[in-house]
């Protein structure tokens, strides 16, 4: 027995295979015991009406408890908690010993050393696993309220550093009952906007009577999968957590063995040399600071803004904070093809300056087209034009999802799974893998990027079936059937 782990003998231990059977059943169940899927949108609208929500852009000088440090120009909270906006100087070499082509740039970045908790509570009703989802307001979401994990809290939140109320149901996750854990893994957030930020992604089962009332509702995985077809309904943190569920591999027969895949991935980590150094925000070149925004000189990438927020169902009712505002809508896509009759997706070993370990497996395309519109075709990112111009007949999945609304303002991307040409020859840094291989890697931290986890959650929930009814093909996962 590990120190600090006390067994609870009343609970039968379950292994991943047992969990996978129950997860498959939940994914195949589209009728929940507490709410019909078609009623969820009306419920979210009702929660929006039942609470007071208001987000207003303000000048930096009007922020309460936030200030620009005199020595560094960093935007920090007076408590020293939460997060800070600092500068980052990056030199990226693409060669085995740092001797290949390189890029160099500077940018603002979010430094948030705290590890937050993203926790979903699970419980069986009528023999089917349900997951407790919260209709949560985040100031950066365009529609404000989306379905989030049961608990979505930074350490400052659940230790009440801001003087707010208790985080509801935090007792199931900090710490969890070790006999009831289904998922517990540290995962990174956006490496392009955060500097080495991780959250604890958790799913914990309970037998307690936890009512789905107010801002909370119990839903099956099948219901959640249907809602992932809707624009901006399931938030980023929920998508990340759900991607880590242990599913069955319904299509064994990957192009590369797990050992070969890990060797390729290790080689990609070894050949990239990304040197990211935190610098004072006031020293960041190529950016200009005004009264209400910090912006890139070319008007691309993102802005830093300040907002004043009121949210009557939050632990703290009103506050101010900075947010990173996206410039343009992103495109995030997996190319997909069958190899030997087995569905594969094309992953990109992406090196972002904010990653803890240089490289994570990302979607085939993860770009904001506006940032590349000025470039000639030969200099545009691989597959971006192919994905943007894909006809409806090639699109297997499509929805617009928001990114993390607690730190980003109006950061939205069009998420897609697109059939590739059979002749696609992956360039260096790309490889064909099965969704099951990616799912296995989500059980470990810092392998699969948050954008890839979103697409993986959509794929897995759509194709999961009980073992006896396992599907062979990777079906269309549009909200509507393909023509």
- Annotated binding residues for dTDP-4-dehydro-6-deoxy-alpha-D-glucose, as ranges? 66, 154-158, 192, 237, 287, 350, 366-368, 371-372, 404-407
Q: What phi-psi label fits residue 103: left (phi over 0), alpha (psi between -120 and 50 degrees) or beta?
A: beta
**Among 193, 204, 195, 205, which Cα is nearest to 236's?**
193
Burial 467-482 (b: 16+ CB within 10 A, else e): eeeeeeebeebbeeee
Q: How far apart are CA 419 and CA 343, in angstroms?
A: 10
- Retrieve residue 114's tokens: 């705290």
Alpha helices in 85-228 (DSSP H): 155-158, 221-227
Q: How far apart are CA 137 and CA 75, in angstroms?
A: 24
Tokens 């600071």 sit on residue: 289
CA-based end-to-end distance of the chain: 56
Q: At CA 346, angle to CA 394 and CA 247, rounded to 5?
A: 95
Tokens of 308: 């004043």
180 close to 146: Cβ distance less than 8 angstroms:
no
Distance of CA 340 to the CA centre of its chain: 31
Tokens of 205: 């089962």
How many Å apart are CA 82 and CA 75, to the nearest integer?
Answer: 11
Q: Rounded to whole angstroms, what are the CA distances from 421 to 16, 87, 242, 339? A: 35, 41, 30, 12
d(CA 128, CA 220): 8
The DSSP output letter for 234 is B
How many of the other CB atoms lie within 10 Å of CB of 370? 15
Contacts of 176 (CB under 8 A, 6+ apart): 119, 184, 202, 204
CA dist list (Å): 165 to 119, 162, 173, 309, 460: 18, 9, 17, 16, 36
Distance, CA of 210 to CA of 217 (rounded, Å): 10
Q: What single DSSP character describes residue 394?
A: G
420 in Cβ contact with 252 (< 8 Å): no
For tokens 């500097």, the residue is 195
Residue list, annotated binding site: 66, 154-158, 192, 237, 287, 350, 366-368, 371-372, 404-407
Using alpha carbons, select from 120, 140, 143 the residue that is nearest to residue 130: 120
> Contact 81/165 with Cβ under 8 angstroms?
no
């Amino acid at each position: 027995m590990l120190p600090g782990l006390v067994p609870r003998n009343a609970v039968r231990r379950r292994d991943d295979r047992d969990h996978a059977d129950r997860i498959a059943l939940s994914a195949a169940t589209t009728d929940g015991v507490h709410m019909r899927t078609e009623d969820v949108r009306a419920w979210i609208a009702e929660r929006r009406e039942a609470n007071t929500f208001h987000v207003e852009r303000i000048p930096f000088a009007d922020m309460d408890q936030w200030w620009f440090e005199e020595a560094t120009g960093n935007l920090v909270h007076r408590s020293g908690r939460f997060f800070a906006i600092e500068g980052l100087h990056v030199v990226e070499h693409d060669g085995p010993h740092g001797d290949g082509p390189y890029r160099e740039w500077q940018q603002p970045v979010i430094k948030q050393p705290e590890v937050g908790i993203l926790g979903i509570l699970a419980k069986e009703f009528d023999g089917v696993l349900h997951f407790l989802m919260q209709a949560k307001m985040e100031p950066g979401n365009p529609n404000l309220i989306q379905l989030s994990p049961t608990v979505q809290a930074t350490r400052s939140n659940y230790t009440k550093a801001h003087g707010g109320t208790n985080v509801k149901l935090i007792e199931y996750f900090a710490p969890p009952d070790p006999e009831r854990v289904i998922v517990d893994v540290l995962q990174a957030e956006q490496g392009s906007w955060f500097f080495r930020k991780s959250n604890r992604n958790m799913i914990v089962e309970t037998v307690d009577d936890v009512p789905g009332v107010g801002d909370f509702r119990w839903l099956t995985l099948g219901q959640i999968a249907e809602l992932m077809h809707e624009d901006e309904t399931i938030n980023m943190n929920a998508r990340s957590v759900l991607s880590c569920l242990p599913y069955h591999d319904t299509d064994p027969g990957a192009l590369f063995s797990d050992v070969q895949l890990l060797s390729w991935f290790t080689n990609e980590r070894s050949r990239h040399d990304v040197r990211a150094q935190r610098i004072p925000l006031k020293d960041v070149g190529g950016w200009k600071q005004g009264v209400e925004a910090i912006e890139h000189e070319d008007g691309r990438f993102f802005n830093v803004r300040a907002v004043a927020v009121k949210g009557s169902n939050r632990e703290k009712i009103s506050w101010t904070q900075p947010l990173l505002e996206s410039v343009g809508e992103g495109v995030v896509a997996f190319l997909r093809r069958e190899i030997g009759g087995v569905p594969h997706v094309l992953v990109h070993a992406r090196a972002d300056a904010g990653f803890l370990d240089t490289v994570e497996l990302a979607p085939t395309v993860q770009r904001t087209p506006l940032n590349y519109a000025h470039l000639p075709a030969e200099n545009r990112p691989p597959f971006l034009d192919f994905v943007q111009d894909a006809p409806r007949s090639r699109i297997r999945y499509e929805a617009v999802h928001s990114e993390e609304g607690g730190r980003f303002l109006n950061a939205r991307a069009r998420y897609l799974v697109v059939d590739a040409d059979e002749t696609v020859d992956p360039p260096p840094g790309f490889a064909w893998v099965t969704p099951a291989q990616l799912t296995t890697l989500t059980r470990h931290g810092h392998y699969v990027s948050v954008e890839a986890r979103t697409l993986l959650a959509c794929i897995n929930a759509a194709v999961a079936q009980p073992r006896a009814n396992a599907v062979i093909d990777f079906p269309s996962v549009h909200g509507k059937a393909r023509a």
